[in-house]
Structure 1
Amino acid sequence: MSEFSSFLKTQSDIHAVNAIAAFLSLTVLPQPDSKPVDLVVHAGNAILETAHAACKAALDANCPLVFSGGIGHSTMLLVERVRAENLLPEENLENRSESEIFGALASQVWNFPKEKLILETRSTNCGENAVFTKSLLSELEQKARTIILFQDPTMQLRTFVTFQKVWQDASCKAVFYSYPTFVPRLQTQDGITIYAADLPFGLWSPERFLSLIMGEIPRLRDDENGYGPLGRGFIPHVDIPAEIESAYQHVYGLLNNHGKTKGRILT
């Protein structure tokens, strides 16, 4: 695995990456006077801590928990992480969707009641997470009005606005909250750039992390190539602050000029 230091040389480089990651890790939490949470939704990814936190939130709220995720680009990474920690027997991993794997972890490892689990096993992207979850809840006659969303922190903002858009024509209007579990952050220690010490173990490889955050900004843009109304129309308009665009251009220049990542990490 490559080190961050092979891509990021200065504190300005690290600051730019941290700014982008913080922007994407949208946190919108219920207030003390908010209505009780009646559903938790976890969109599939390869970070175990997000699913564990979703279980805790659903237990605290005494509400159902939806795991949404079929077999996609994160599935094998999830399987590798579960295998590495020896958390589940192989029959719970082979040819299983992300939601089935997380469901098994929830019921067998994290003591979440199986009767409160809802598994959406078809979705392979953020839009399908929202569409298929909404459809499944309708089939089950589950009417959720206050929903907390959990996702890979690098995709938390896009997940939040995607669910809002998909639910806007729902017969049962929902209020969404967004909880990324943690905010990714880099730091320098003994001259080496690493994840901050207080973050969970087993995070993305440097290449994957940089690829994820750099892929999100173009998707969030409201232009002909983005996912906003002026582009593909998958999400509502999202304001991207000038300082985030500046940070993106800074990191883009670093990676585009790096022989190891040019033409690959920026896709």
Structure 2
Amino acid sequence: MSDFNTYLKAQNDIDAVNAISAFLALNDMPQADSASVDLVIHAGNAILETAHAACEAAREANCHLLFSGGIGHSTTLLVETVRSENLLPEIYLKDRSEAEIFGTLASEVWSFPKEKLVLETRSTNCGENASFTKLLLSELGLEPCSTILFQDPAMQLRTFVTFQKVWQEASCATVFYSCPTFVPRLEIRDGIVTYAEELPSRLWSPERFLSLIMGEIPRLRDDENGYGPCGRGFIPHVEIPSEIETAYQHVHGLLKNHEKAKNRALA
């Protein structure tokens, strides 16, 4: 496995990555006590801290916690992380969905009440996270007015606008808040490019992180290849600032000769 120094050689390279990362990790949480919350939703990923933060948010709000995620591209990484930390017996990991694994972690490890857990176990992508969650809540007769969304910080913005679109199309008045557990940031320590010291452990490999953030910008674009209304129509229009496009082009140039860290294909 390569390290970040394989791809990033100068401070302006790091600055470009950090700019993209901060843009994607959308945080629009209101001021404390300014809004009540009646549901917390966590969309499946492989970062344990995001699920733990969702548990704490739901516990504080005394509301339901919904884990959304079937068996997808992050499931193997999630299982490896849980296994390496020896958090759950193997019986809770084999052939289990991301929602089931996180639900078990929530109840058995983080002491979240089982009666307030809701599991959506079929979705395999961001769009299905939103649409299958909406369907499940309708089946259960739950109509949240105010919901906090947790996701892998690199996918936080796209998850937020995807959920908004699905609920708007269903003429539902739910207000969503986007809450990245942390904002990924790189820095140089002792001559080595690495994650900032204050960030959680067990984060993405360099290749996966760079692939994730570089795959998000093309998806967010509102053009014939993107997910916006002028493309696939999966999300509403998202305004991508010119400085983020500039940062994207800069990092794209750094990665174009590195097969492992090239853009994720649109899917």
Smaller-chain TM-score bracket: over 0.9
Distance 1:55 1:149 in 2: 12
Deviations 1:193-252 (A, max 9, x none): 000000000000000000000000000000000000000000000000000000000000
Secondary structure at 1:18's aligned position in 2? helix
Report the equivalent of 1:135: 135
Give structure 1 stretches of 5+ with no counterpart: none
The alpha carbon displacement at 1:31 in A equals 2.8
CA distance in 1, matches of 2:201, 2:65: 24
Measure the CA separation in 2 of the matches of 1:23 and 1:218: 14
Aligned-residue offset at 1:266: 4.7
Distance 2:14 2:117 in 1: 39
Alignment match, 2:232: 232
Counterpart in the other structure of 1:156: 156
- The aligned counterpart of 1:22 is 22
Cα distance, 1:265 vs structure 2: 4.5
Structure 1 residue 59: Cα displacement: 0.2
CA contact (8 A) 1:16 1:251 kept: yes
After the TM superposition, which residues 8-87 of structure 1 pair with which residues of structure 2 at under 5 Å, given as runs?
8-32=8-32, 34-87=34-87
TM-score by length of 1: 0.97
Following superposition, the deviation at residue 257 of structure 1 comes to 2.8
Return the offset for 1:190: 1.1
Counterpart of 1:240 in 2: which secondary structure? coil
Identity over aligned residues, as a percent? 74
Q: How far apart, in 1, do the equivalents of 2:39 and 2:29 lie?
A: 14
SS in 1 for 2:244: helix
Q: For residues 84-140 of structure 1, what are the alpha-carbon distances to aligned partners after superposition, in whole Å with 9 as ceiling and x for unaligned?
A: 000000000000000000000000000000000000000000000000000000000
Q: Which residue of 1 aligns with 2:192?
A: 192
CA deviation vs aligned residue, 1:121-178 (integer Å, no higher than 9, x gap)? 0000000000000000000000101000000000000000000000003354100001
Q: Does 1:257 align with 2:254?
A: no
Asked if the contact 1:207/1:265 (under 8 Å) is kept, the reply is: no
Q: Which amino acid aligns with 1:89?
A: P
Report the CA distance shift for 1:220/1:265 in structure 2 as closer, same or farther (over 3 A): closer
The residue type equivalent to 1:211 in the other structure is: S
Which letter maps to 2:100?
E
Offset at 1:261? Answer: 3.5
Give the secondary-structure state (helix, strand or coil) at the position aligned to 1:209.
helix
| Correspondence list, 1:214-233, <5 A | 214-233=214-233
| Gap regions ≥5 residues in structure 2 | none
Cα RMSD after superposing both structures: 1.1
Measured in 2, the distance between the counterparts of 1:247 and 1:28 equals 22
Change (3 A) 1:120 1:171: same
CA distance in 1, matches of 2:198, 2:120: 32
Q: Deviations over 1:7-63 (max 9, x none)?
A: 000001000000000000000112346331000000000000000000000000000
Question: Displacement, 1:2?
Answer: 1.1
Q: How many residues end up aligned between the 2 structures?
A: 265
Report which stretch shifted further, 169-178 or 241-250: 169-178
Q: Distance in 2 between matches of 1:83 and 1:32?
A: 36
Q: Provide runs of 4+ in structure 1 moved above 2 Å.
A: 30-35, 169-172, 264-267
Q: Secondary structure at the match of 2:194?
A: strand
| Distance of 1:83 and 1:33 partners within structure 2 | 37
Match of 1:212 in 2: 212
Output the CA distance in 2 between the equivalents of 1:257 and 1:102: 37
Q: How far apart, CA to CA, are the structure 1 residues paired with 2:115 and 2:90?
A: 23
